[in-house]
Amino acid sequence: MFEILTYLVHRYWNLGDLPDVDSLSRHLSAAGFDTGVIEEAVDWLSELSTSAQGSRQTSSSAQSGTIRCYAAQEEQKIAQDARGYLYFLESAGVLDRVLREVVLDRITALNDSEIELDQVKLIVLMVLWSHGPRPGHLIFDELFASEDWRSLH
């Protein structure tokens, strides 16, 4: 599924420009992606869109000064350096507490056994795009710092 998300980031600069579900599914199929993976990605993106609507309502009431403790299942699923990176993004003001929880929700919605740092960066980028203005160039470059992603250009 991450291949599809990466493809979408490269193809559509703004997630708001994504076509409707049927058109997107046909486009991804024509691009050579497997039907099952397309369905998984479309469902994931739909849930992301739904979370964007809910988080806008709760964002202004997010408490500050709290620390996120991960549940055992989250610690097993999210690589340690990826959890540290989420903390860094939050402390740098890139993610607020509500967006961090949306990122964690999208991570736990995945079937993968362990989510690595590059995958978390892609999820963060998708969450930022779906929840407001496009990330600045420095943040975009940081989130696309992976050698694997650069080779896709």
pLDDT means per 10 residues, the chain with 153 residues, are 88 75 93 95 90 58 69 93 93 89 93 89 88 66 58 44
Residue 124 CA to residue 134 CA, distance in Å, equals 12
HSE-up (13 A, CA, CB side) for residue 97: 12
What's residue 152's pLDDT?
44
Residue 35 CA to residue 33 CA, distance in Å, equals 6
Residue 20 CA to residue 36 CA, distance in Å, equals 18
Alpha helices of the chain — where are they, by DSSP H? Answer: 2-11, 21-30, 35-58, 72-77, 80-91, 97-108, 117-130, 137-143, 147-150
Full residue range of the structural domain in which residue 127 is found: 2-150
What's residue 132's pLDDT?
65
- Residues 6, 152: contact at Cβ < 8 Å? yes
For helices 35-58 and 2-11, what crossing angle results, to 10°? 70
State pTM to two decimals: 0.81
**How many domains would you assign to the chain?**
1
What's residue 37's pLDDT?
95
What's residue 57's pLDDT?
52
